[in-house]
Structure 1
Amino acid sequence: MDEILYLEPDEEITSVVDKLKGLESKSVGLVAPKGSTIVQSLVSLKLLKKQAQELGKKIAIVTSDEVGQNLASRIGLPVYSDVRSQTPIVLVDREVPQADKPIEIDMTEKQEKAPEAEKEKISSQRKSEDIETPSGFEVHRYDEEKVDEEKALPSTEPSDFIKRPVSEVEKVDHHEIEAARPVKYEYLNKRASGPTRTKAVLIFVGGFIFFTLMAVVADLLVTHLNIRVGVPAEEVQKQVDITVEKDRPQNDFDKAIIQGTQISKEKDFEVEVQSTGEKEAGEKAKGVLTFKNDAGVDVTIDGGTTIRSTSGVEFVLDGTITVPKAQLNSAGDKVLGQTTGSVTAKNPGAAGNMPASTTYVISSQPKISISGATSGGVTKKIKVVSKADIDQAKKQLKEIGTDELSKPAESEKELIFLEGAGTAEITDFSTSKNVSDEADSFTAKAHIKFTTLAFKSSNFRQAVVRAVEKELNDKSLLFSDTDVISPTLKENQINIGKLVVTGSLNSHIGPKIDTKQLLMSWRLKPLKKVRSSLENIEGAEIREIDLTPKFALPLAPVLTRNINLKLEYIQK
């Protein structure tokens, strides 16, 4: 057995099959407590074996219940007395012959069915054969006893026979021949009384089976016991941490560890995004500027050199120019060398239009002074796709994919998907426009793969209840279906297949009450005993004991699922 699955005393076959589906192991041992309903029925065990075979699993029954051991072995299931057993129990259904008892061999049937000619041959062969008797055993032959008994009986054969011809078409009356055959007197007596006795036995057995089936059907479909009991209680609020593990073979409620199921989903998503980037698409300003040289040598300025106005607007020299050196005139005064050059604004827009009084500089030419006007710049802004827009599209697609893929499907309703417990990954991304492309909006597409670790709500509730009960001393948690348990993600370690979830419980505590044990003890018990056991609970107030239908026998149902025990709190 690669894996052990523990069953509840009143667990149904559908629940067991669902648990088997969730197990990865091919060999599973089903541990059934003594008195478990599933091992008390041969039909249930056969159905369970068939379902296991369809799932490709080999199951074995582990139980100390003798009835369950017998039924399971009858249908070929391995049976173990406990989980530590290495070999299955062998149940012996037939008696092994002992050396001190005779071996009885009935040879009469074949002889009676043989033709008359063969009977004489067989009889003569028996007399001549020397049958070997095994050492230590006594052989008793029924045919010899019959022969001795027939010899002891008086002859009943008629002394005279009437011979008459039989036509070819005349049929033989076999009943007449049988009536004329000599038989023992004791056999006639038995024949007269046998059918009557057999008929009475069949009627009795049939009636017993019918009424038993009617009682079972009435219990399953009709009889229900509803009990309401008020117990003194006080409110309690507790928080406990439960660990969810992906590779956990089974739940360990005592250690607050439950099984998790890693779920991966992927899908294509598409979103429309508005562009937020802007771009100047107007005309660039142009002009002819005057360049003056204060140096004593000619200065050549290459085309493409950046020229900056005092207001910070940048222009580009359209072509290479040479500014002549400064010279002295006849009066001895310095005259700056000068020339002109065409410039164009780097960026379009009206900001490049400069008045004639504007001065400019070239950072690498301190001896050169520039002045002049520019014009023709026109401002026109257009929408373009920015890098921020692309990043925003990825973010939106991931959020949309996470929101949709994190919702449980119809087949996953019993699972809990915690917010923030999953990861979304974009495996393929594309846009209809690139960065700096002119567009008011663009389309973004992505293939999203979402992975999360989910867990069963029933396992989580049971783990929280068990963890809280361990913290209580002389009190018992009076947990009911109306009490609230809220899960909150504490640690996300999905990269190693693990989550830590905080369970917040709002419930009540009161006197210790083992409801499962009570339900088991009430099966087929008179209602007076049920009431008496409730009265023994400290501070309990019996509010209702109602058995339906009213004509049912005053006995609790045999199935605990038909007994509804509702605990109502009496606030202290």
Structure 2
Amino acid sequence: MKNIYLEPNEEIISVVDRLVQADDNEINLVVPTGAQIWQSSINLKLLKREANILNKAVTFIVTDDLSAEMAERTGFLVKKERELPVELIQQEEDIVFEDSPEEVRPQQRSDLETIPEETETETETEEEIEKPAQLSESRDNMIDLLVDELESEKKAKKPLAILSGWKKKEIFTQKRMADIVTPVEESKSKFFSQSNKLTVKKEPVKVESVIQPRIFSEVEKKTGSSWSKLMIIFIIVALIVAGFVSYLILPNAEINITLKTEALIFDLSVVGLESISQINESLNQIPLQEVEVTKTKDREFTATGERDIKEKASGRITVYNEYSSSPQVLVATTRFESSDGKIFRILESVTVPGAKIEEGKIIPSIFEIEIIADQAGEEYNIGPSDFVIPGFKGTAKYAGFYGRSSESMSGGYIGRANVVLAEDLEKAKETLIKELKDEVQKILEDQIPTNLKVLEGGLKEEITKISSSHNEGEQADKFTIEIKVIMKALLFKEDDLKSLVGLNSVSKISGDKVLIEGTQKISWQAPEIDWLKGEASFSLNVEEKVAQQIDIQSLKDDLVGQDEVEVRRYLASQPEIERAQVSFWPFWVNKIPTQEKKIKVNIEL
């Protein structure tokens, strides 16, 4: 069994803590009259509850009837003693002086404590202080008697000391707890003798601070306890109001629902026509538009071949017929001799028209032909000249048929020179075609409106012309390639196609299902295009996700006021829901709010 001695001002929290720390299950609680624990029955009830929880038997040891009655009414065992145990009587409160080189304790008498008083001289004097004590023999309320006695002392006593450099403070005599609760031997029926004289020894004391007597602080606490109770009540009411407002305003619930989905897959045949301007749902037709771009480009390239060559000069001359009105045939290799004696030949047979005779005069006919030097060499690169036909020499035709050139002959050469190779021609064509196609495609793309798209396989390129300034094997340092390209494109509105596919998708699902936006996938097969008619036929493979429709308003109506377990059970029972997540805010909320605007439902697909 353990004895616990309470101080008069010891708070209930400290008492409970000491009870918890006690090792024994049987406790004697020695409580003086006027202790703080007697101020409210709540303190006793709290202590009783904690004792029951700890399974400890607590016995109150008291000296007055009122304390005994309060403890018994709460359910404690009570042991009433005339005097408290000596251990409590010997406990004294020291008066602490801060920053003092020594501690000064009050002198003790059998019934009163005295404290030293600072004087101006070091001579010890004694003075008698009369202490009036008017105590009632009734013990119904020991605390009130204690307060009355302290108030009478406050009126009778004067301050014992005024500390130099400090604020004026009253210091009262302090009684020990044993003197209050236990009658002195001179009079058993009273707490104190009615007339006692005390001798106070005056001596200099060096102090800097004084601690007020414990009993006087108890009087002050009694006055402030009512304010503490009012403050506690105010805080409790404020918390209740704040909780009520939070319950109405703050609670929110968010439900994230993922619906079950299924795939819709089907094939669709579509026809595109330039002759229509809007989709035809019944025939699965969409309008087409054609764009065409044409461009010609030439570029000079370098010949990379090199070899020993013998080239003959060539050129063109005009042949005149002043001989007769009859046409004259000139066979291939017919010779023409220049004025400086150079021989050139024609490459193929030609017929020179007959001359005209007007008013007895012969008007010569003319005919232009190509000639080539009889021998290779640069010496045949002659300037403009007159030509005769050596084969007619000695006849009248020699003077009647002749030729004349207006330009120089060229190409005659003997030696090592650059020539155009087949690889040069092929590489030049490939390079120029690629450049031209890129340019044409860029022009075509710039002409396509933003709302149109090129049909899959609906792009056509056509090269209509390829020419070169020199043929393979010809002598040349440079040669020129010219190419012409035509590019066509069939265009359609992507929205038209999606709309047509969407109409077909809707027709293939039941009314309680909905297409999931953004899941449509279209695969194209190679189209058949008639460019002359402006038509295209193609097949599509369509894949799209669908989900069961859910009535959000009905869902909210069903979930209002349900707790988390009920909500999860309800959502799990819905066949169209794949999974769901429920979150509440603030953290203490565990039910769906009663206001629908506080419920947020998010549908995820």
TM-score between the two structures when normalised by the length of structure 2: 0.30
Q: Which has the larger radius of gyration?
A: 2
